[in-house]
Structure formats: C-alpha cells, structure tokens
Chains A and B, each alone.
Chain A
Amino acid sequence: MIVFPGNTRITTTPSFPVAGSSKVCVYDVNDQATLDQQCQFYKERLCGIELDAEKLERIKSLANIRISTLRICVSSLDDLHYIDRLIQDIKGKNTAVILKTGKDILRVVNYLTGFRIKILISPVENEIFIPVLDELIDFYMHQTTVRSPIEPFHSILQTMINLTRITLWDILQEKPGFDFYITGEGKITLSKRWAENGRYFGSTNQSWDTLRTDKLFQKIQNPNKLFFAEQSECVFCPHFTQCGGYFKIFNADADCKPWKKVFATLQEEIQNVRRILTEYGKTEKTAK
C-alpha cells in the first residue's frame, strides 16, 4: 500500500484511506457517519471534504467538524435549499462551492457570495460555463455586493497584480508532485480531470518509489518546461503565465479562446484601475 511523502496533498474517497503524514481531502462523503469517521481518522491531516449539495440532507450538523476547507458541489438552483439549512455552520467555515451548472448562475452566485462563500468554477467544464463567462466576470468585477472570491478569477487577478507565479494548475489543485488523486478503483493520478482523460501514474498497491518513477509522473513535474521543450504555441501566448498551458495539456488543438478573453478582461481591469489611480494622483497634486 502506497505511503505518500508528507509534503503532498491527496484527494481520495473514504474507501481508500491514505496512510502517512500527507494532507488529505476526501470526496464522495455521503452521510454524517462517514463525515465523522473521516474527521476522526485523519484529524489534523484532513484539509478538505468534498460533497454534493444534496448529500447535505444527510448531514445533521457541521458545527463541530474541524476541517480547513469544505467544498460543496452545486448542480442546480434547487440545491441551494440544502445549503440554506446548514448556512450558519457553513458560512463559519472556509467553504467553497463548486458550481456544476451555468443555469441561473448569477442568482446562485449572488446568493452564495452574499454569505461570503467562495465560488469555484472549473474551466474543464467549458460547455457549461463558456456561455455565461462574460456575465460572470462582469458580475465578479463590478457587482459591489460580491464579498468573497469567485475562482479562478480572483486568484488570477491576484497573480497579475502581485506578479506571483501561480497558475490554473495551482488554483485548481493540480500541482504536479504535490497533488494526487485516487479514483474509486484505487488508481492514482493528478486530479479528477486526469482520471477522466484516462491518464494515471499507478495505483494504491504500488510503492511510492515505483510511482514516482512513472514516465507520465516524471514528464509532468514541470508543465511549463514541457511546453517550452515541445515549442508549443502556448509559450508565445500572453496568458501562459496565468494558465500554464492548462487547457492544452491533453490536446494541442483545444479551444482556450474564451478563457484568453477572461484573462484579457482581468488585465484590462487592472489597467483601468491604474489609470484611475494615476489620474487621481495628478488631481491631488494639482489641488495641493
């Protein structure tokens, strides 16, 4: 049975417990008993629980649960009533809602951000979000009632301002060498997206030393380097510092234009703020 090093974050199901000292996120938590059991088993190692909103119906209370992140998957507007029942417990925690729907998106986002709940939309689910991306980015940038981050916009904006080297890989928990994902069948890969694309490093019955010598695992340790080595068109893209080639890792022809537009919009907003501040500075000087 594999034991990951301490400086890793493993996302797993309750059916594949992770030994060692790594941080652990658990998905597919379906009821209170499983939740309690996972908290008891991992204690301080537990850094996240992911569950579908409808499963909240089987959760009596989250008040005494000590975890750093709660991730709730919301698939429709109706799911909000599950959240509503536990809202007092939820809003006190570091909660992120993973949106699985583009329908009524502004109503859903407006409700959740009002409670300071973080929103996460996955760029992988392009067919869901592309039609509403413009609305959503406009909402995030200009709606004054938004009081919590909408990801990945928020982190990308921060990296643009602070010039940090965080890309979509980090924001979406796909940091090679740090993030690992165990499927329901015990296969190990980087994330759910990688599992859905049939890319694996190995399985839970292997040793860490075997897993880390896996070709795919070795190859993706530094995705940026990979794109440069292949002289991919991504390395000439003005948004590579934000996405790190995230969209084209499986398919060089994947369409990332809608997300390029998002990055460009965020960049433009920064320029607008800079312009306003510069003008304000000049007005102040003149006034003095």
Chain B
Amino acid sequence: MRMSRGLWIAFLWLLLVAQSFGQPPQCGRTAIVFGNGIWNDERGVDESVPAIQETLRTYPAIFPAEELDKLDYKAAFNPSPGKLIDLLEALAGIGITNDTAGWRNLLQVDALSPEARDVIQKQIRDRILADRLISIDRGVLQGHIDDYKSYIRDGWKVVVVSHSQGNFFANEARASLSDTEKQALAIVAVATPDNHVEGRTPPDAFHVTLFEDNVIELVRQLGLITPLGPTLHTSSPEPTTTGHMFVDSYLYPLSSSEVTIAIYIRQTIQALTNPNCVASPPAATSYRITDLYAQGGEVPFLEGSAINNLGQVVGDGLTAGTPSLAHALFLNPGQAPIDLGVLPGAASSESRAEGVNETDVVLLTHGKLRPLGHAIVDKL
C-alpha cells in the first residue's frame, strides 16, 4: 500500500521532532482507555469506544478538532466469566428460554417486562453477594499495569474511562503506579461501585453516577461497600431498565451525563503531564514571573482568589504556604508544558522561542487545570 506524500511528510516531521527533542514517540498524545464493566463485553466495547469518540466529536467547544487529533483509543478488557450467562439463566427461569430473546432483553432491544426486570435485579444482587462484590484477578490486573507503564514510557498521557466494575481494576492499576507515573494517568469514573476514584479527592473525584442507576444503588443497599454518591439525574426521556448501561444511560446523546463525561475527559487531559515528555530546561536560561494577570480581569474557576501583579496567588489556599497545590505551567504551542514550579515567584526555565516573553499560564491545583491568563516573564 502506498503511503501518501502527506503522510510521509507527517511521518518524517514526527521523526525529526522526536529526534530533535529526544522525546518518547507519543508525547503530546493522549490514550483514552475504556475499561469495561460486566455489561460491556467484547460487543459492548465495540459499541462503547465508538460512542465515546462520537461524544467527544459532538462537543467541539470542549474538544476542538486539533485536540481530537491528539487522541488515541484503546480498550482494557476486564473479565466477567459467566456473569451474562447467569442473567440469561435467570430470564430462562421465567420462560424466556430462547437465548435470542434473552439477549434482546438484556440489551434493551426489546422492552423488559416487570417480571424480567425483577429477576435481573435479583440475579445481580445474588452475584454481588456471592462474589463479595467482585474479586480482582491479579493476573488480569498486572496485564493492565504493564500496559499502562508502557504507554507512559512511550509518552502518552492516559485517561482511563472506566465503567462499573472496570473502576475496581482502574483504581487498583493506578494505585500500583509510581508517583511519577501517576502524573500521566488518571481516571474518569462512570457508574463506579467503588468508594473512591484513585488519585482524586471529592468533590473533584471526576465520577459520574446517575441517581437512576439501579445497579449502583443496589450495591449501596447491600452494604458491602459504599459507592460514591450519585451526581446527576438522567436526561434520557426513556431511562434504561437498569440505568447502568454505559452507552444507553450515561452517553445518552446530549444528556448531562454525556457532556459531563466529555468535560471530565478534557479536564483530565489538561491536568495530566507525562514526566517523560517535559523537556529538560537549558541550564543557562531561567525565567521569573514578574507579572501575572488573568484574561478579562478575572480568574476563572478560582472564586475567592486573587493574583497580585507580582504573580502571587492569594486566597483559596493557594498561597506559598501550600506549595504542593499550585504549580504554574507555561503552555507553548506545539511543545510540552513546562513546569515553572510552585507559585508565587516561581523560577524555572523553559524553551520558548527566543525573544518571547509573554505566554499563557495555567495553574494546576487539586489535579485540575485552572487557566490563569497571561504571564510576563523575564530572564534571570
């Protein structure tokens, strides 16, 4: 197959860039990894990943085209042996003995009868109790961890969009990473039965659970674990039977949950940095923030905060007294973010074009990206 001239040029350009900067090959790119739940088997993944892609395309204000181009998609397969077969068996117990009819019920092709809904709920409850919620296969988990480490070494940022039981695997996997690796991987939790999102602190847990999600509510009622609370009501005019399905319930087109998931993915990408991709600053050049101001005279997302004209952030706990919460980043188009260190008065270096002394600055706090506006920087 012939490669087009454009692709050759792009390829050579990427090669040149990679060699010039000594960066891993995937720097600047993000892997969106879908972590499947029990209802998201092979078939489910085949519909869920395209649905995520479609969702991100739907909101250009959140994901401009140039940002979409930086995304790659993957699927992390988690096991659920026999779980769906158990549901088919349960339906057979009330006379739905034809597997085609059983699958059509489970996949909501056909409307469920109240009786079918009850046996599905009972089966889910029984399985949760029998399994003590869920047992994590360590071999499976290690496979994921190895892959995540590999992606991070290659320069990717990794956003794991995990659904249902996939959250147990995603949380465990992230917890197994080194602190450095954790800077490059974060989770957007959808319908999580777990009681936390690894690396996140409420209220910034980046999880979406519908009030109408009967499965998570069931988990809560059984008391084996206390899942994170619901965050949104469904916008679907016809809520699904379980309220738990990734595509039907959570990515319902133009729903509040869909747009929230899109925003969380975007914010997560912005907040991540892959340490393997941050360029080493030239030793001879360093900069100091001498003036820092917000666009439009306001600081978005930082109520109660203020920034003085020396680059000092005051209020909202973002002072020099809490240095671990505030980092300033230079964002130069086409380059990896340069961490300037802790505000205020951060001194560091970066690799901007010579002579440019004004750049966008963002602030990282609580793992979130908070745009601050512009900074005037001077060479030391």
Co-assembled chains A and B: no
Interface residues of B (CB under 8 A from A): none
Interface residues of A (CB under 8 A from B): none
